[in-house]
Structure 1
Amino acid sequence: MKIIKNLHDYHEKTPLALSIGMFDGVHRGHQTIIKNLNSAAAHKGLESAILTFWPHPRTVFSPNDDLKLLNTIEEKTYLLEKNGVQHLFLKEFDEEFRNLTGEEFVKQILVEKLNVRHLIIGHDHTFGKNRSGDFKLLQKMAPDFGFEVEQVEAVDFLDTHISSTQVRNALTNADINAANEMLGYHYSVSGEVIHGKKLGRTIGYPTANILVNRMKILPKNGAYIVDVFSEEQQFKGMLSIGTNPTVEGKSLSVEVYILDFDSDIYDKKISVNFREFLHNEIKFESLEKLIERLDEDKRLTENFQF
């Protein structure tokens, strides 16, 4: 996949089948758009492309919102390439760009810069200043500018449209199964293993502290069954998100106890896939009660069918 980080440096005239959007999570709704995109490209002799934005427009319009995302830019790039996209345009959502009207965006960006011949958008997609661009505008402009436009209907899950917001809501409610169903894959986080307080090893449960990208959304505080991937090997794990209230912890941490594992992985990167919610964060009355719960969590993790 070709990655173009600056549209000003892009001067190719390759005719494209393109879709526009944040594609945060690259969930099943996005995957349907990409499937149609690839199909249209193959049928019409075009190359498939995605135009996405960084940072997220909401961070520009509402800078005080603490927006967390499903994907880092690296994760999104990987997922789009995995789904067969041939070109990825990463456009900075700057002042100049956000002030383009819908018509200016179509003419200057889609037609003159990107040579779009087939455009696919989601069921509720709008663009341009004050959301002045929509499917009706595209239908109106398409004949004059030599491209075709297609709108893809939403994909539903449990009577609701799948969206990045719905996936985020499921994660913050610890509904891992719903989040994974909507994504079409297991939600994951990754990061470098850093030094912590090393309290876990004193009670027989040494954990790896993961430094997670601050833009990534974390599921609700609590304990989870996870897959752990370290140096191309896969293990079962029990992951905790929280402040360790039993030992009067203050700061949020992401720690994973890896079953049947005894290697030094400090400063190395590991990834975890969320598989099942175990329980909310608990403040135990004693370390003995904490160990009892950890023993039970370990039993449930060992018996979980991965």
Structure 2
Amino acid sequence: MKKSYSTLVNKKDIQSIAIGGFDGMHIAHQKLFENLDENGAIVTIESGFSNLTPKRFRQEYTNLPIYYYVLDNIKYLEGKEFIKLIKEEFPNLKKIVVGFDFCFGKNRKYCVEDLKELFNGEVIVIEEIKNNDIAIHSRYIRDFIKNGDIKKANEFLGKKYKIVGSQIKGQGLGKSDFVPTINLQIEDFLLPKEGVYITKTKIKNDIYNSVTFIGNRVSTDGSYAVETHILKDDIQTTYNKVEIEFLNRIRDNKKFDNFKDLKEQIILDIKEAKEFFN
């Protein structure tokens, strides 16, 4: 089992755990965590498809230690074998918290009632959490993001959706012909639908109001890009790590017949973003 690099907790001290995928660390996940005591921990099942809060980024949304199981290493275990593994890892475990749809073991044939039978401690099952009669699930949040519905995604997440990337060299037209942008290479994170968004951009410990474009640059070189323009300031940076939080969507990606029309639209996008922040 791989433990989060940011936590140093003796497993013998852990008395309660929450088990799940926890991609998104969203509102419903936080409800599970609320049922853990001060000696609690989070056990994440890593399927390899987590792209809302991949890898180590989950630790940002909890003070509890996080441990990771790789799904491929445990998916063939029978129910008793899975519980045996959990007890070996956390010998003083007294409580397990899961969601109502939690299943485990070979072919996912063991679910909540089996967990209650196999584990000789307290099992707390959190019922389905809804927002305006819509269940809060990571798969729905992914759909919102893919469709560009950032406001709804943020509502279900309980926070602003964020991506993190490394700064790369752009095509060089921004500063000379349009507005300066920071171009990013994004890995692991789910990218929102192509278009222009009102965002916050974090570089080191500084947070800036910004406008971010995602998609194929159909009016210039045609390549796919993630680039953010900092409002008010021309930021000169070669800092590797850049974070972008999405607040609202301005428009779809579209093709312009000439640079003049494109620049006019960019100016309108910036104006809308500034009005949003004001």
Give the alignment's TM-score, normalised by structure 1: 0.84
Q: Give the whole-Å Cα distance in 2 for the aligned partners of 1:259 and 1:111.
A: 53
Q: What's the secondary structure of 1:71's corresponding residue? A: coil
Amino acid at match of 2:254: I
Q: How does 1:178-197 map to 2 (within 5 A)?
A: 178-197=152-171
Q: What's the secondary structure of 1:211's corresponding residue? A: strand
Unmatched 5+ stretches in structure 2: none
Aligned to 1:103: 80
Aligned to 2:95: 118
Q: Give the whole-Å Cα distance in 2 for the aligned partners of 1:18 and 1:281.
A: 44
TM superposition shift of 1:104: 1.5
Q: Give the whole-Å Cα distance in 1 for the aligned partners of 2:79 and 2:136.
A: 26
In structure 2, which of residues 28, 39, 52 is the aligned counterpart of residue 70 of structure 1? 52
Mapped pair 1:140 → 2:122: no
Relative to structure 1, the CA distance from residue 126 to residue 199 in structure 2 (aligned partners, 3 Å threshold; closer, same or farther) is same
In structure 2, which of residues 230, 240, 245 is the aligned counterpart of residue 268 of structure 1? 240
TM superposition shift of 1:212: 1.2
Q: What's the secondary structure of 1:277's corresponding residue? A: strand
Q: What's the secondary structure of 1:261's corresponding residue? A: coil
Q: What's the secondary structure of 1:256's corresponding residue? A: strand
Q: How does 1:1-306 map to 2 (within 5 A)?
A: 4=3, 12-37=11-36, 41-42=37-38, 47-54=39-46, 56=47, 59=48, 67=49, 69-81=51-63, 85=64, 87-95=65-73, 97-106=74-83, 108-115=84-91, 116-142=93-119, 145=120, 147-213=121-187, 215-250=188-223, 252-305=224-277
TM superposition shift of 1:125: 0.8
Q: What's the secondary structure of 1:290's corresponding residue? A: helix
Aligned residues with identical type, % of pairs? 27
Relative to structure 1, the CA distance from residue 256 to residue 15 in structure 2 (aligned partners, 3 Å threshold; closer, same or farther) is closer
Cα RMSD, aligned residues only = 2.0
TM superposition shift of 1:5: 5.9
Amino acid at match of 2:167: V
Q: Give the whole-Å Cα distance in 1 for the aligned partners of 2:18 and 2:204.
A: 35
Aligned pairs, number: 273
TM superposition shift of 1:209: 0.4
TM superposition shift of 1:11: 8.0
Q: Give the whole-Å Cα distance in 1 for the aligned partners of 2:56 and 2:50.
A: 15
**CA distances 1:245-278 after superposition (whole Å, capped 9, x unpaired):** 001413x210001112223212432211100100
Q: Give the whole-Å Cα distance in 2 for the aligned partners of 1:263 and 1:150.
A: 49
Q: Give the whole-Å Cα distance in 2 for the aligned partners of 1:171 and 1:231.
A: 25
Amino acid at match of 1:159: D
Q: What's the secondary structure of 1:281's corresponding residue? A: coil
Amino acid at match of 2:35: N
More helix by share: 1
TM superposition shift of 1:23: 0.5
TM superposition shift of 1:282: 0.5
Q: Give the whole-Å Cα distance in 2 for the aligned partners of 1:191 and 1:52.
A: 23
Relative to structure 1, the CA distance from residue 31 to residue 283 in structure 2 (aligned partners, 3 Å threshold; closer, same or farther) is same
Q: Give the whole-Å Cα distance in 2 for the aligned partners of 1:15 and 1:263.
A: 45
Q: Give the whole-Å Cα distance in 1 for the aligned partners of 2:51 and 2:10.
A: 31
